[in-house]
Amino acid sequence: MHFLDQAKIYIKSGWGGPGAVSFRREKYVEYGGPDGGNGGKGGDIIFEAVAGLNTLIDFRYTQHFKAQRGMPGMGKNRYGAGGNDLIVKVPLGTQILSDPQPIEGTEDEDGYPEYEEQEILADFTEVGQRVSFLRGGDGGRGNLSYKTSTNRAPRQHGTGWPGQEMWVWLRLKLLADVGLVGMPNAGKSTLINQVTNTKAKVGAYAFTTTKPQLGVVLHRDREFVLADIPGLIAGAAEGAGIGDRFLGHIERCRVLLHLIDATGDDPVEAFRIVTDELAAYGGGLDEKPQIVVLNKGDLLGQELMEDIAEQLREQAGVEDVFIISGATGEGVTPLLDTVLEILDEERIEEKADDESDGEATWSPI
């Protein structure tokens, strides 16, 4: 299945049904009065977060969503049925954003206008969460409702109120406990394959991973969700290599695993590039607990790996460095033990914050 994390769609709620123009016609009733019923209400547009989806690819092929119109009213004071609501199912972690419009009089040197900032209209963090987004139009009045003491046989009726319509953007931000970050070819896909059942593509070249991957880690009879994003390069926060979109997928992670290729030209510089991009992106990424992991220990040996780890401590100010081999699994167990400890601490803090704020937080599992 192809991965898509952004899509633009058009949504429109249903029009209200027209009211009826009708008069009572019965035997021996010479002057029957009006009896036209009101039209039914148009259907609403409702978004719902569902399990089992992890991409917005369906919205590439279906981009227009229109709810059903209300049914017209009928004689004998019968009201029209309301139109069916249209439920748009989206993956967990989807955000609905406004469609930014150009700001008049703000053209740059090339003649392109500046655009308004996007506004987050809805954020889906729980399975089954529903948001009634656009309300359907009310039904039109039948001629019975127009009857007065001076107008005994009205023939006017309401045509039904129009529904609401708008363009919106859908943006998917994966929900995971742990985010896996690093430079291209750091061995992230190898590690996620080692600790989960994910079959991520592995290759001896940069940018083997081209889309975010999710996997569930089972360790010590406990589970947590691990997200692997494509490798980051300098300028990723500004969009280089569409890194800004990839970084958005780890905004909600509790912990970051920073994987460094020990066989690279300069592991210390690789560490600094990624941490600088996390800080430049914002969203609190640089404030999240970060576990620094030196990978590919099977290729260099323990002594050389310790020397590189010491360089990271002295030159980059890293306190703890884990030495592992994602290919053989060496050193992975103590790493996962530490991840569980930090996750427990983060959950305790979040629970305390939620109790003080009176709000519940999301959980990907």
How many other C-beta atoms are found inside a 10 Å radius of the C-beta of residue 230?
Answer: 25
296 is known to lie in a ligand binding site: yes
Q: Is 327 annotated as a binding residue?
A: yes
Contact 13, 165 (CB under 8 A): yes
Q: Please check if 248 is assigned to a binding site.
A: no
Q: How far apart are CA 16 and CA 217, in angstroms?
A: 50
What is the DSSP annotation of 246-305? Answer: HHGGGTT-SEEEEEEETTSS-HHHHHHHHHHHHHHH-TTGGGS-EEEEEE-HHHH-HHHH
265 annotated among ligand-binding-site residues? no
CB 70, CB 163: distance < 8 Å = no
Q: Is 228 annotated as a binding residue?
A: yes
* 38 is an annotated ligand-binding site residue: no
On whether 325 is known to bind a ligand per the annotation, the reply is yes
Residue 328 is encoded by which pair of tokens? 């053989």
Q: Does 295 belong to an annotated binding site?
A: yes
298 is in an annotated binding site: yes
**Nearest CA to 169 among 338, 39, 56?**
56
Q: In what order do the strands lie in the sheet with 6-12?
A: 64-66, 6-12, 165-172, 94-98, 120-123
d(CA 316, CA 178): 22
Q: Is 206 annotated as a binding residue?
A: no
Does the annotation list 209 as a binding residue?
Answer: yes
Nearest Cα neighbor of 288 from 337, 359, 343 is 343
Nearest alpha carbon to residue 134 among 43, 6, 39: 43
Is 326 annotated as ligand-binding? yes
- What letter represents residue 80's amino acid? G
**Residue 82 known to bind ligand:** no
Which H or E run includes 8? strand 6-12
How large is the greatest C-alpha to C-alpha distance in the chain, in angstroms?
108
Q: Whole-angstrom Cα distance, residue 359 to residue 290?
A: 26
Query: Residue 230 annotated as binding?
Result: yes
Contact, 323 vs 263, CB < 8 A? no
Strand order of the β-sheet with 45-50 is 86-91, 45-50, 130-134
CB 294 within 8 A of CB 217: no
Q: Please check if 338 is assigned to a binding site.
A: no
Return binding residues for GTP: 182-189, 228-231, 295-298, 325-327
Return binding residues for Mg(2+): 189, 209
Return binding residues: 182-189, 209, 228-231, 295-298, 325-327
